[in-house]
Amino acid sequence: MGDMLKLMFIILVLVAISVLLLTINIWLRGGEFRSQHISQSAEMRRRGIHCVQSMDAMERKEQRLKTERLKHKD
């Protein structure tokens, strides 16, 4: 039982250190993280990569247009 308690204490200390370092990182950056959203990344836009929701909407629109064109051919 003593070994389990030591392990839990070590894990607790590691988590506390991690939280402290993350807090310091946020504080040094002025209190905010850079956006992690794909649409706000210039490099992703340059490569033509969009978020999943945008990609899905574009694919659905393309499929709908193809279906409408096929219906009008008949």
pLDDT at 68 over 80: yes
Evaluate whether residue 74 is within a structural domain. Answer: yes
Which tens digits make up the pLDDT trace of 23-53? 998 888 887 767 777 778 888 888 888 888 8
Domains in the chain: how many in total?
1
Q: How far apart are CA 40 and CA 38, in angstroms?
A: 5
Structure tokens given for 20: 């402290």
Q: Residue 38: which residues within 8 A CB-CB, separation 6 or more?
A: 44, 49, 50, 51
Evaluate whether residue 56 is within a structural domain. Answer: yes
Evaluate whether residue 37 is within a structural domain. Answer: no
Q: Which position has the higher pLDDT, 23 or 16? A: 16
Q: How far from the centroid of its chain's Cα atoms is residue 20's Cα?
A: 23
Its domain, for residue 56, covers 50-74
Q: Which position has the higher pLDDT, 49 or 11? A: 11
Confidence band of 72 (pLDDT split at 50, 70, 90): confident
φ, ψ for residue 65 (rounded to 5)? -65, -40
